[in-house]
Amino acid sequence: MFDITKIRNFSIIAHIDHGKSTIADRILELTGAVPKRKMQDQILDAMELERERGITIKAKSVRIEYKTKSNEIYILNLIDTPGHVDFSYEVSKSLQSCEGALLVVDASQGIEAQTFANMHLAEENNLVIIPVLNKVDLPSADIESVSKQIEDNFLLGLEPIKVSGKTGLGIPEVLESIIENIPHPIGDPNKKLACMIIDSNYDAYRGIIVDVRMFDGTLKVGMNIKMFSSGDTYEVLEVGYLGMNVKKTDTLLAGEVGYIIANIKNISSVKIGDTITEYNNETLNALPGYKEAKPFVYVGLYPINTNDYEQLRVALEKLKLNDYSFYFQPETSKALGFGFRCGFLGLLHMDIIKERLTREYNLDLLITSPNVIYKVVKFNGEEYDIDSPSKLPENGRDYKAIKEPFIKATIITPSNTVGGIISLCQEKRGISVDMKYLSETKSIIIYNLPLAEILYDFYDKLKSISKGHASFDYQYIGYKESELVKLEILINGEEVDALTMMCHKDNAYHLGRNLIEKLRKIIPRQLFEVPLQAKVGGKIIVRDNIKAVRKDVLAKCYGGDISRKRKLLEKQKEGKKKMKQLGKISIPQEAFSAVLSLEKGEEK
């Protein structure tokens, strides 16, 4: 007999590397969801990349049967979440399908920036929060101080549960607290079908497999379902529960989490956050979905082998299925040919997508320099977006102003490094908002920063100044007007659109000079002199030359009249002049990566 009161849907949230995946391992081990012989570290992190980097990239769902101390059977749907700021979309997606969450804090490190961010996400979704103090077995654990931090900053009303993800200490108490404190889902299996798509992935044989959270109604094999946003209809061929090994069932009921297979081949039919209902018996209103992810960082993605363009398009569509925060559209570059304009939530997100394309789809790719979306303000007050600097009008008199996106950065750092971090934020054109002490040894610094300024080396410098102890989180706050210019790079007199970038007018000369110097070293010498130029607003601000490779045309002259030698040299000179007019420069891949490695500190 189905009993919705015996279901608990919960998530695990924490700052990166605070042990949420390890706690998930212990919960699976204790409840017998995974046999001991098959148990391994980070078992919910199925990707090779996740194991290599020690981070969670994709949220996972698993159904667990748990017998309480009073011998009652409960169904726990556990969703593991990422911790890095670039995957906050995955966190919000997980929390939307839960009624409660475990907030994990490292007993030796205390509250970090992402702890605050995830806590705010959980509060927005009205979840019950259970504080968990992890790694209490470490010699460096400061249990009293960190417990006080949690109590003072979050006011949860629950005593933090002291656990060790490594040894399993306190895990039974965590499970009992989940049963006692997290409410059961609310839903009626007799109402019209309403379930939310929380994830999807592509199977070559069975089509798109859709993961859903049931809110109302009953989902059965053979039922005709309808996608609320697209109106596409399908017949359900299989439903089941998510777990370490998926388990088929005949029905999914209100409150449960499971999967649907319905021979869905059209990738555009499935949108994460969309509502699925029954065809000809539809629910009137779509479920309130979570916020659609808005990419902040844009790059051009091009196949090195032009024949791989179609394969790249298919690969991007498949990745989009289970990462809805990723955006792409076709674009063409004069220098690089056909490719895609791709949007990401951050640089790590970009790096992970590129790595997945390389490993999972065997593609060799070239990435242009990252940039953000700017707003161009016309003289009549109208605004329009540009996602590539090359799209900005050449003449600065064609627009009134340029706006750039700003973020609110929260940095938690040891108190003795505050001065260095404030200097870094000022260097990046930051505006101070607040600073306060979290404890005797930790401080919180809040700055408003241009998003473009943190794309290159901000995080590396932050870690260097704080000796690796600072944590960083940010949230988008809107656009502000800035004195920005378009920096164009010309090679042999031709503009290379893939190297065009936006920068503050005070940094244009230094940035252009550094880039020209790098290109001069990277681009191979030709048989003719190649000029390199940096241009702003129609004026050349930096110029350098790649010297020509000189062929010794006099080598075959062992003597004779000087006029013969002059004739050969004049002929060579005319040939070089003609070659310079007609010659094409092959730009190596390293040239486009040069922008990524530019040290912004060299600009000053």
Query: pLDDT (tens digit, 9 = 90+) per residue, 319-363?
Result: 887 676 778 888 887 767 888 888 887 777 787 888 888 888 888
Q: For residue 21, with 0-12 CB atoms within 10 Å meaning exposed, 13-18 middle and 19 or more buried, which class applies? A: buried
- Taking CA atoms, 231 is separated from 299, 323, 377, in Å, by 33, 22, 38
Using the predicted structure, report yes or no on whether residue 442 has a pLDDT greater than 90.
no
* In the block, residue with structure tokens 């020690």: 54
Q: Name the percent of the chain lying above pLDDT 70.
A: 83
In the 3-class helix/strand/coil scheme, how is 163-210 assigned residue by residue?
CCCCCCCCHHHHHHHHHHHCCCCCCCCCCCCEEEEEEEEEECCCEEEE
Mean pLDDT (whole number) for 29-38? 67
Mean pLDDT of 490-516: 85
Residues near 42 by beta carbon (within 8 Å), at least 6 away in sequence:
21, 22, 25, 50, 51, 54, 56
φ/ψ (deg, to 5) at 336: -115, -10
pLDDT at 57 over 50: no
Any residues with CB less than 8 A from the CB of 191 and at least 6 apart, and which?
A: 216, 217, 254, 283
Tell me the mean pLDDT in the region 402-424. 90
Q: Which amino acid is at 422?
A: I
Mean pLDDT of 211-237: 90
Q: What is the mean pLDDT of residues 418-431?
A: 91
Beta strand pairing call for 337-344 and 374-377: unpaired
More confident residue, 342 or 85: 342
Q: What is the pLDDT of residues 95-134, one digit of tens each?
A: 778 899 999 999 888 888 778 877 887 888 889 999 999 9
d(CA 455, CA 501): 13
Please report the pLDDT score of residue 88 as a whole number: 61
417 CB contacts (<8 Å, ≥6 apart)? 465, 466, 467, 469, 470
What number of other Cβ atoms are within 10 A of residue 440's Cβ? 8
Residue 303, judged by CB atoms within 10 A of its CB (0-12, 13-18, 19+), counts as buried
Q: How far is CA 380 from CA 374, 391, 485, in A?
A: 18, 20, 20
Q: Both tokens of residue 270? A: 């499935």
Closest CA to 80 of 243, 201, 249: 243
Q: Would you state the pLDDT for residue 56?
A: 47
| Residue-level pLDDT at 53 | 46
411: left (phi over 0), alpha (psi -120 to 50) or beta: beta
Q: Side by side, which strands form the sheet with 327-333?
A: 327-333, 337-344, 297-303, 365-367
Q: Would you say 362 and 321 are in contact if contact means Cβ atoms under 8 Å apart? A: no
Please give the Cα distance from 230 to 464 (Å, whole number): 49
The three-point CA angle 98-249-216 to 5° equals: 40
Write out pLDDT tens, residues 134-169: 999 989 888 888 888 888 888 788 889 999 888 888
SS3 label, residue 503: strand
Residue 447's pLDDT band, with cuts at 50, 70 and 90, is very high
Are the CB atoms for 154 and 119 separated by under 8 Å?
yes
d(CA 175, CA 243): 18
Amino acid letter at 255? Answer: G
Contact 76, 177 (CB under 8 A): no
In this structure, the dihedral spanned by the alpha carbons of residues 143, 465, 15 and 209, taken in order and rounded to 10 degrees, is -160
pLDDT at residue 55 greater than cutoff 70: no
Paired tokens of 98: 């839960």
Measured distance CA(414)–CA(436) in Å, rounded: 12
Among residues 242, 220, 217, the alpha carbon closest in space to that of 76 is found at 242
* Cβ neighbours of 43 (radius 10 Å): 19
Cβ(368)–Cβ(498) below 8 Å: yes
Model pLDDT, residue 395: 65
pTM of the model: 0.69
Residue 94: CB atoms within 10 A of its CB come to 27
Tokens of 166: 């490594």
Select the more confidently predicted residue: 434 or 41.
434
Identity (one letter) of the amino acid at 545? N
The DSSP H or E segment spanning 12 is strand 7-14
Cβ atoms of 499 and 487 within 8 Å: the answer is no
